[in-house]
Amino acid sequence: MDMMEANKTLVMEFVLTGLTDLPGLQVPLFLVFLVIYLTTMVGNLGLIFLIWKDPHLHTPMYSFLGSLAFADACSSSSVTPKMLINFLSVNHTISLVECISQFYIFASSANTECFLLVVMAYDRYVAICNPLLYPMVMYNIFCTQLIGVSYIIGFLHPMMHVGLLFRLTFCKSNVIHYFYCEILQLFKMSCTDPRVNMLLIFVFSVFIQSFTFMSIIISYTHVLLAVLKKKSAKGRNKAFSTCSAHLLSVSLFYGTLFFMYVRPGSRSAEKQDKLYSLFYTIIIPLLNPFIYSLRNKEVIGALKRIINK
């Protein structure tokens, strides 16, 4: 019995089944997701470069936007490269250390994004509701501190879940029916009772997502009321344009996270969960730079100046 128990802890690598096991779809999917990944990286890193290079964009709002673009680039890079390799590889294995590292980088990026979206909402609240106080409230050092705190909390929180993962032993199976190391999938394969892990995931997900989401809603409610009071149609349109982009990004991001980590799970929803995961790990990082840039005249103007130079 002691030998059997010891053998149970020897599972040191897993097999990722990916999006599909149909051989004919592997190459087409590889090409599709390669284009998506390259577009994501060009969009996010290009936006960071544009903000850094153009002095007109050296404002708090664009500093926050650049930080969000970096988090999106990290989020996509934690998942997509491994998935691309698996599309063309016969061996879909991933080591336990690689698996936990992948989860940690993705979870840190997603947590950071939650807090950066709150910071961006607060920035718009101060800019629109208290424009005269804006330079005094959102000064450079304070903005840097807000970004730093967002990243520190974002990277510290998943450490607790990573630490608790090491209390689990994996003996039921080493096959993960997913395209990346999603933590809820790891719980299903554990031969140690994972209820403590699942409870903490649920509690912290509810707290962080509810707190950050409600903070964003409260900020934008004040913004909306302030915008409706503006007499200038041009001012209203500019404020609506900026805030609508932020709210679209928030809706996409939180909608999928709530469905994935806050609602009760069920076996019948496994395919839906995979779709939600695909959306927030790969599609949202692709969309964000375009959501924030395409309708933003300042970003378009900065891009034109860079191209002209």
CATH code where residue 63 lies: 1.20.1070.10
Work out the pLDDT band at 269, boundaries 50, 70, 90: low
pLDDT at 43 over 90: yes
Q: How large is the average pLDDT for residues 32-37?
A: 96
What is the rounded distance in angstroms from the CA atom of residue 92 to the CA atom of residue 107? Answer: 22
What is the rounded distance in angstroms from the CA atom of residue 158 to the CA atom of residue 164? Answer: 10
Work out the pLDDT band at 212, boundaries 50, 70, 90: very high
Work out the pLDDT band at 261, boundaries 50, 70, 90: low
pTM higher than the cut 0.85 = yes
User: What's residue 231's pLDDT?
Assistant: 61
Whole-number percent of the chain with pLDDT over 90: 42
Range of the domain at 85: 2-308
**Three-state SS for 176?**
strand
pLDDT at 291 over 90: no
Count of domains in the chain? 1
* C-alpha distance from residue 54 to each of 42, 273, 305 (Å): 17, 40, 8
